[in-house]
């Protein structure tokens, strides 16, 4: 049995709503904070993948 190919995915970090929306339009892979996701959620493209980066000590329990 052969090994499955390894894929690398590079998410683009963004820090402002405008920057995140531009990255969603061009790259479709965005990394941002939960707060920023809430700011852009109603405006991002449906096919944009958003990785939520939790801060140190933050995140779900």
pLDDT in tens, 5-54: 887 888 999 989 999 999 999 999 999 999 999 999 999 989 999 999 87
Distance, in Å, from the CA atom of 21 to the CA atom of 3, rounded to the nearest integer, reads 36
Q: What is the pLDDT of residue 59?
A: 53
Q: For the whole prediction, is pTM greater than 0.85?
A: no
Strands (E), the chain: 12-13, 29-32, 49-52
Kindly tell me if the per-residue pLDDT of 57 is higher than 70.
Answer: no
d(CA 47, CA 61): 29
36: number of Cβ within 10 Å: 20
- Tokens at 11, concatenated: 């998410």
pLDDT reported for residue 60: 53
- Distance, in Å, from the CA atom of 6 to the CA atom of 13, rounded to the nearest integer, reads 22
């Amino acid at each position: 049995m052969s090994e499955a190919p390894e894929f690398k995915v590079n998410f683009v970090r963004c820090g402002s709503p405008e920057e995140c929306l531009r990255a969603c339009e061009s790259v479709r892979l965005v990394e941002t904070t939960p707060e920023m996701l809430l700011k852009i959620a109603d405006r991002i493209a449906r096919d944009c993948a958003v990785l939520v980066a939790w801060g140190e000590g933050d995140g779900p329990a």
